[in-house]
Amino acid sequence: MNWQPLKPKQTLDNMKQTPRMDPNLFKAAMEGKVDVLKQYKDELYLQLTPNKNTVLHVAAQFGRAQFVLEVIKMDPLMSREVNLSDETPLHLASKQGHSGVVELLINSAKEQNVEIESGLGPGVELIRMTNKERDTALHEAVRSNHVRVAKLLVEADRDYSYFANKSGESPLYLAAESGSLDLVVLILENCLSPSHEGPNGRTALHASVISNNIDMTMKIMDAKPALIKETDQDGWTPLHHAAHFDHSWIAAELVACDASVAYLANNDHKTALHIAASRGNRDTIKVLITQCPDCYEQVDSRGRNILHIAVESNKDGVVRLVLETPLLSSLINKTDNDGNTPLHLLASFGCQMIHLIADSRVDKMAYNKENMTALDIISCTERFSALKSLVKRELRLAGATRGQRNVLRIDDGEKGDTAHEHIKKVGETHLIVAALIATVTFAAGFTMPGGYNNNDGAELGMAVLTKRAAFKAFVISDTVALVLSTAAVFIYFIAALYANQTKLFNRIIWAFCLTIFAMGAMVVAFMTGIYAVLRDSCSLAVLSGAIGCCFFIAYFEVLRKMYLDKIAKRSRL
């Protein structure tokens, strides 16, 4: 309970008005001019800012130790006065890191002979006072990373646990979250039983693991080993977070301290190994299966093991690791609650994982609880995807065949017709673009920049700008664009004869790539042609070239996005 001294009575009018401190007194407190204090000796309590800061609050905030000392001499009880946010001068001094003022406030409070209702000494009572957010002065010091101030506070009250504030943050958690090893060590070594709570049910150990500070993690584990098994509101232990962020060194230390934590599951029944598999974190997986070799047997709430999860999450690196590790070979054909093997999930999500498909240990004819094989699933899906078409081809090359248990399912022919028509429509659109590029570049080849030489002689009919480097670049890039676009038109023309969906798709991909490069070459031809005829007007030529370069910024960004989305990530469609 915060103890408050009685204040002089104020009139009703004064209470209704917004408080306002005399400007001369405010400036004196801010600048530490002690001589001004004597003029306000009898009315210090009445001098308040709009936030109800006293003159002692102002002096503490600006670190004016001598001014603070003189105010305390005039009225020792003012050190416990609070402002509109229930902050004491100690809160403000701690927040700003004024260690001299903090030390002065603590020592002066200890020297006071005041009876406190809580039974604590006045110095301890001051240190433990909280504001409206339930922050103590130590919360403020730690949040602002003021080690010297924090040291003064914890050494003055070693018995206090410093509980969490309204946001669920304890000083120890704040120190760990900020990555300050000095503050963590200070609190652990000076507080007899410091609170470790953090928001969302997390602890200081969760915070240190997330910040990837192995020294801090070791310190907290040594002081509070029970925190290794503490879970947050999602059921995540610190090891779950280490697996999520692939902090493999910290994961190794956590498991070395208590191996049982590797078997703890979160609210979704996922262990740290499952989390690492879903994130593609191979290093953490290696640590966990090395130190706890049987933890791979655990499954989540859907009955899925780490290979199921890696396929579902499209983590090809983890799939390869499982296939290459003899310890994990039993997972290759394991089924989940729906009877799906990892190969079934691969077919469901259209993941092009050649290593899994081609592995001889994989049962290509395994049935799930719907009596479907992997090839059945990818053949009968109502969603078309070019990647799934390629996966179906790889499955067939690996020896997979359709099952005979669901003969009434949509067959390949019906699905193939829909896919085939879709690809042909795409090809027709691309053909128009390629033909347009070929037409433009062909015309540009005979409409030379600068025109032709009309003078009689050996150079009659020759291009005027033949000797300029920019003109030569124009001719080369225009020729490249013409050849590439014409080749693309030819491939689109031939592709129309293919009945096989996979072959049709592959030809269109080749033609698409040629069209893309032809488009870039056409823009280069335009830029170099413009430069060749505007060389004498350098600024205009450079400006035209700079504007043309904007195309390539978008050009390469779109290609990069396409690569990441369609190839690297192989998005589930």
- For every residue of 414-460, DSSP letters joined together read HHHHHHHHHHHHHHHHHHHHHHHHHHHHHHHHHS-TT-B--SSSTTT
Q: State pLDDT tens for residues 141-152.
A: 999 999 999 999
541 Cβ contact list (under 8 Å, min separation 6) = 530, 531, 534, 535
pLDDT band at 139; cut points 50, 70, 90: very high
pLDDT band at 572; cut points 50, 70, 90: very low
Round to whole Å and give the CA distance between 133 and 386: 56
Closest CA to 321 of 352, 295, 283, 351: 283
Distances (CA, A) of 26 to 41, 65, 67, 90, 96: 14, 15, 12, 18, 18
**Does 189 lie in the same domain as 338?**
no
Q: State pLDDT tens for residues 254-267.
A: 999 999 999 999 99
Q: What number is the average pLDDT over the span 458-485?
A: 75
Last residue of a domain, one of 105, 129, 157: 157
In a domain, 573, yes or no: no
**Does 310 lie in the same domain as 341?**
no
Higher pLDDT, 380 or 21: 21
pLDDT of amino acid 415: 46
Decide if pLDDT at 8 tops 80: no
pLDDT of amino acid 568: 42
In a domain, 508, yes or no: yes
Domain of residue 153: give its range. 1-157
**Does 390 lie in the same domain as 254?**
no
| Residue 379 near residue 402 (C-beta atoms within 8 A) | yes
Q: What percent of the chain has pLDDT over 90?
A: 51
Lowest mean pLDDT among 92-101, 343-352, 417-426, 540-549: 417-426
**Does 552 lie in the same domain as 435?**
yes
**Does 387 lie in the same domain as 368?**
yes
pLDDT band at 231; cut points 50, 70, 90: very high
Higher pLDDT, 194 or 439: 194
pLDDT of amino acid 486: 86
Higher pLDDT, 188 or 385: 188
**Does 151 lie in the same domain as 19?**
yes
Closest CA to 164 of 130, 188, 198, 125: 198
For the chain, the domain total comes to 5
pLDDT of amino acid 330: 94
Decide if pLDDT at 10 tops 50: no
- If DSSP codes are grouped into helix, strand and coil, which group holds residue 536? coil
**Does 540 lie in the same domain as 466?**
yes
Round to whole Å and give the CA distance between 349 and 253: 36
pLDDT band at 269; cut points 50, 70, 90: very high
In a domain, 498, yes or no: yes
Round to whole Å and give the CA distance between 541 and 549: 12
Supply the DSSP symbol for 563: I
The CATH number of the domain holding residue 126 is 1.25.40.20
Q: What number is the average pLDDT over the span 484-494?
A: 81
In a domain, 257, yes or no: yes
Supply the pTM of this predicted model.
0.69
Q: State pLDDT tens for residues 445-465.
A: 777 766 656 666 655 656 656
Supply the DSSP symbol for 197: B
pLDDT of amino acid 413: 44
| Residue 90 near residue 137 (C-beta atoms within 8 A) | yes
Q: What number is the average pLDDT over the span 262-283?
A: 95
In a domain, 235, yes or no: no
pLDDT band at 105; cut points 50, 70, 90: very high
Closest CA to 86 of 41, 139, 42: 139
Supply the DSSP symbol for 362: S
**Does 136 lie in the same domain as 8?**
yes
Q: What are phi and psi of 463, to 5 degrees?
A: -65, 135
Distance separating the N- and C-terminal Cα atoms of the chain:
60
Last residue of a domain, one of 230, 260, 289: 230
Q: Which two tokens mark 397? A: 């090359």
Supply the DSSP symbol for 19: P
Q: What number is the average pLDDT over the span 201-207?
A: 96
Round to whole Å and give the CA distance between 288 and 270: 14
**In a 10 Å sphere around its CB, with 0-12 CB exposed, 13-18 middle and 19+ buried, how is residue 356 labelled?**
buried
In a domain, 222, yes or no: yes
In a domain, 415, yes or no: no
Last residue of a domain, one of 212, 230, 248: 230
**Does 145 lie in the same domain as 3?**
yes
Q: What number is the average pLDDT over the span 293-309?
A: 95
Lowest mean pLDDT among 221-225, 312-316, 512-516, 536-540: 536-540
Higher pLDDT, 390 or 90: 90
pLDDT of amino acid 521: 84
pLDDT band at 437; cut points 50, 70, 90: confident
| Residue 328 near residue 300 (C-beta atoms within 8 A) | no
| Residue 264 near residue 229 (C-beta atoms within 8 A) | yes
**Does 354 lie in the same domain as 477?**
no
**Does 44 lie in the same domain as 125?**
yes
**In a 10 Å sphere around its CB, with 0-12 CB exposed, 13-18 middle and 19+ buried, how is residue 477 labelled?**
buried
Rg, the chain, Cα only: 37
pLDDT band at 409; cut points 50, 70, 90: low
Compute, in degrees rounded to 10, the torsion defined by CA atoms 414, 419, 421, 425. 170
Lowest mean pLDDT among 2-6, 223-227, 312-316: 2-6
**Does 93 lie in the same domain as 46?**
yes
Closest CA to 251 of 209, 279, 220, 281: 209
pLDDT mean across residues, the chain: 83
pLDDT of amino acid 567: 47
Round to whole Å and give the CA distance between 310 and 354: 14
Amino acid making up residue 557: E
